[in-house]
Each structure stands twice: as C-alpha cells, then as structure tokens.
Amino acid sequence: MSKIAATLLLHYDIVIGLDIDEFILVDPETGISLAQYLSELKPRSSYSSLGMDVGQHIELEQPVDFSKPLLSQRGFAAISARYSKPSIIMKPVKWGGLHRIKGRNFKIDQNLYLFHFGMVDQKQSELRKNDPNLVESGWTNHMKRRQNLLDLIANATPLDGDTYFSIARNLQQSRRPIYALNKPKMIKGPQLSTYRCASRLSFKSRPNP
C-alpha cells in the first residue's frame, strides 16, 4: 500500500489509506468539505484523525438502516487510539499496518475524525462472527474483542463528546507505547472509565446541498 500511495502522489497532492469500514469526516462546524479542508492544511508527511469506534447501544438504538446516514442512527462511540491512524499522507511514507508511519511522528488534527463502523450493527456483526470464511481465516478472537465495544457502550456512562474530544486528542498525542513511540497509546488504569467511555457524538446528519 505504501508503494501504491507513493505512485499516486506523483499525480495527486494527498492520498488517504483506510480499511473498508472506516471513514474520515471533518467537523461540520468548520463549514467546509473534507476535500477543501485537507487542501488548506500545512503540507507534512501525514495527518491523523481522532479515532471513533462506533457501536450500537442495544437498549437505545434500533438495527441500522443502511439506506440512511449512519451517524443519524448511532450516537455512541469509544474514543480509541487504535483508530487514530496516520491515514492522510502528503509525502511518500512507509506505513506500519496503517496504524503508524515508520521513522515519522504523528499529528492528530483538531477537526478530523476517523469513524470505524465495524460494530455499527449488532445483527450484522453476529452474521460476520459466524461466517465460516472468517472463522477459517482466524477472525474468531478478533470478533470477540470487537464485541467488547457493544458491552462497553451498553454499560458505560457516556461523556459529552464536545467537551471530551480535545482532552482525548491531548492524551493520545502525549502518551506513546514504549514499543512504538510514533503512534498513540491506548489509555489504561485511572483513565479507563473516562477515556474508553462511550462518548456522545456531536455530529448530526445534514441534507445534501
């Protein structure tokens, strides 16, 4: 992927690398599109977005209707360093599984959010968990870890996202795992009840112009 991205940068100013269930959005309070926002950023190797692991609150939210905007149906997410990835690049780099860039630091932009929708719907996740192809590929433990997100959202006391997003950015920017200082650390210990808590999203659906 790093080689493909480097080739694309011969023709384009910016390349974004994401998994199929991930989406980058710019805060709607900026009033501009993602393309315009990115084009106005100061050139650097990469930018990261604040990682939001979106899941269904089983008691409060209905099964997702994929014909409608997802964020109009889902109001909770765990703020996760796992998804604060340097997905946006402006220079050739060597990604480390898209979670870090080898030999480079990272910067989490104040207006960019990466939404992971892997657990956006419990029913769909159950179907994937029992998919024989995924089981054969060794995804069983991975899907069990994802299930923890739904348990977290169902049981945690949510924080107001507008208040907590900036705190989460500062924590992720300043705390690094000792084995990989060029990516954010998952906050544990005393921060567990707040950092990993489901946070109310400030995003609302807007009609297309």
Q: How far is CA 31 from CA 34, 47, 118, in A?
A: 10, 20, 28
* pLDDT recorded at residue 146: 73
Beta bridge partners of 199: 77, 159
Coil, helix or strand for 110?
strand
At residue 110, the pLDDT reads: 94
Model confidence at 197: pLDDT above 70: no
Phi, psi for 172 (deg, rounded to 5): -70, -35
Q: What is the pTM for the complete model shown?
A: 0.85
What's the rounded mean pLDDT across residues 45-51? 95
Length of the chain: 209
pLDDT tens across 61-110, in order?
999 998 988 888 888 888 889 999 999 999 999 998 889 999 899 999 99
- pLDDT reading at 52 higher than 80: yes
Q: What is the pLDDT of residues 111-130, one digit of tens each?
A: 999 999 988 998 888 777 66
User: Which tens digit of pLDDT belongs to each residue from 142-188?
Assistant: 667 777 888 888 887 777 787 788 888 998 999 898 888 899 988 76
Q: Where are the domains of the chain?
A: 2-200
DSSP state, 65? -
Cα dihedral 28→23→153→208 (10° resolution): 40
Does pLDDT of 195 surpass 80?
no
Residue from 142, 157, 151 nearest 122 by CA: 151
